[in-house]
Amino acid sequence: MARPTVKTYKEQKFDHLRGLEGISDKQVEEHLSLYAGYVKQVNTLNEELAKLRADGKASGKNAEFAELTRRLGFEYGGMILHEYYFSNLRRAAEPKPAASSPLATALGESFGSVDQWRTDFQAIGEMRGIGWVILFEDPVTDRLTNHWVTLHQEGIPAGFKPLLVMDVWEHAFMRDYKATEKAKYVEAFFRNIDWAIVERRLQETQAIRPAAA
């Protein structure tokens, strides 16, 4: 059976992200336009690479082909991780997952308790450098682990399911906080987590993110 035509990616809307606590609307607005740039770049790169393939220029010795291919992981990562990040935020959020929820149970099993998991996740967020902190589930063993991802693409274990994604690039907070105040932003992030979404990501077998339209 023929596969349907591959669609281009569309910028997802995150209109619910207003009135967060400690993350201003202006900050969110700027961040969303930066995300839109990644969506555009993914589409452009895919087109450019397809053209090179069609022209018979897909060669490891072709510097243009190699550079565009290297950029593909960065741009895809930038698009996908921002979609996870924005969709795991909401206004008027609960401070932590419900005590008896499957998520709280899973965090307890892997980290000792929800609080111990949070201490670990926040500690990673305060590491030097730019990137992401991600709570992943290994779908093979059900173990949950916190990871540091450099840029957008280095450090993601293949096939792991992202449950909670926190952007710790400076662009994520520098309208609201100083470069030296990343810990304050991390605290603010924790006041705006949509635990119901994190819970759903845990329950669903497949990774959930706003689908490419």
Residues that bind Fe ion in the complex, under the rule CB under 5 A: 167, 169, 172
Q: Between 107 and 172, name the residue whose CB sits nearer to Fe ion.
A: 172
Q: Between 66 and 130, name the residue whose CB sits nearer to Fe ion.
A: 130
Q: How far is the CB of 163 from Fe ion (least distance, A)?
A: 18
The region, left, alpha or beta by phi > 0 then psi within -120 to 50, assigned to residue 159 is left
Eight-state DSSP code of residue 160: P
Q: Between 61 and 128, name the residue whose CB sits nearer to Fe ion.
A: 128
Which has the closest alpha carbon to 197: 184, 180, 210?
210
Q: How far is the CB of 48 from Fe ion (least distance, A)?
A: 24
Q: How far is the CB of 85 from Fe ion (least distance, A)?
A: 7
Which has the closest alpha carbon to 38: 91, 89, 84?
84
Q: How far is the CB of 177 from Fe ion (least distance, A)?
A: 14
Q: Between 83 and 199, name the residue whose CB sits nearer to Fe ion.
A: 83
Q: How far is the CB of 181 from Fe ion (least distance, A)?
A: 17
Q: Identify any residues that bridge with 136 across adjacent strands, giving them in sequence order.
A: 145, 162
Q: CA-CA distance, 178 to 5, in Å (whole number)? A: 46
Distances (CA, A) of 151 to 75, 76, 80, 156: 10, 12, 13, 11
Are 156 and 147 in contact, with CB atoms under 8 Å apart? yes
Helix axes 63-87, 25-54, angle to 10 degrees: 150
Q: Between 106 and 172, name the residue whose CB sits nearer to Fe ion.
A: 172
Q: How far is the CB of 182 from Fe ion (least distance, A)?
A: 13
Q: CA-CA distance, 143 to 117, in Å (whole number)? A: 12
3-state helix, strand, coil in the chain (%, to 5): 45, 10, 40
Q: Between 98 and 130, name the residue whose CB sits nearer to Fe ion.
A: 130
